[in-house]
Amino acid sequence: MNRLASHAKRFATAAASCAAPAGPSAAPRPPVRWTYLPSQLPYHLGLLLQETLVANRLDARKLLASDASSSLSGPDRARAQRRAETDVLLLLQHSPVYTAGRREKDPEVAKAEATRLGSLGADYVSTMRGGQTTYHGPGQLVGYSIMDIAAAQLSTRCYVNHLEVFLASLTSSLGVAVHPIEHTGVFVSPTSKIGSIGIHIRRRITLHGFSLNVEGRTLPWFGNIVACGLDDVSATCIEAELERTGGAKGGLKVEDVLSRAVEGFGKEYRREMVELGDGEEDQDLAAVVRDGVAGRLPPLDIA
């Protein structure tokens, strides 16, 4: 069996072994609330929004498990339960930023990179997600999944596997062939990467998620780094691959892939997807998202 076939078989086997739970042992889960943030979001605001959503869920869990829960009114209990149980998918584009994963710990290197990359007009942020340095910016679809993987009966490995299958399927659905490879992420050849995955988990709730290069304007920014620590790999995007193979000629936008992304995420995790609205059930969550985008959330002390 050749190398490509071997990796493809391993990928398929892993996907089958991580099938989402079904049957009597799997408790029904509420729909995933999703929203698209149409303005380019500075990275630090996106990170604080994620951390706030996780902190709110943990606080609600703690309240419901405490003696004080017995004194909650019916509406207050329902609000706490929604806050504790609702998984969220944030879809967005960032303003230009380079982010370093937790593998990169040298403070002197981080300081030098922040100076170098900052001179190009991008932010530089050290994060707690897995992986190494990558780029996020306009023309790239970013998805942050705030999911309770314990309630979803998913191990960390299976959660990541589903995320990778989802991203590969989304890429294929847009007319771009995927090349199975041993590295995490989505590749269109052994030396061309189109999608990235990096997560962090806090008390079984996920943060961070995935990115997919959609528009051609993302590519020049990747030339300033060794993306994800892979010296022999360069970035590509949906728009460039379609043009290379004789598909659609330019004009593809991030907004054009949103519906496929939402549908594909729900299908892969076997979850109903509901767009975040302004109704009573969504008002607390919607308010946090609005405050996060506007920069009105208070800083958190994350232990």
Tokens of 94: 């960032």
| Long-range own/partner contacts, residues 231-235 (CB < 8 A, 24 or more apart) | 232/191, 233/183, 233/187, 233/190, 233/191, 233/192, 233/193, 234/191, 234/192, 234/193, 235/135, 235/192, 235/193, 235/194
Q: How far is CA 193 from CA 61, 231, 295, in A?
A: 39, 12, 32
147/229 Cα distance (integer angstroms): 27
Residues taking part in catalysis: 228
The answer for 104, left when phi > 0, alpha when psi is -120 to 50, beta otherwise, is beta
136/159 Cα distance (integer angstroms): 22
Query: What is the torsional sign of CA 85, 91, 97, 101?
Result: positive
In sequence order, what are the beta bridge partners of 169? none
199 and 149 Cβ atoms separated by less than 8 Å: no
| C-beta neighbour count of 95 within 10 angstroms | 17
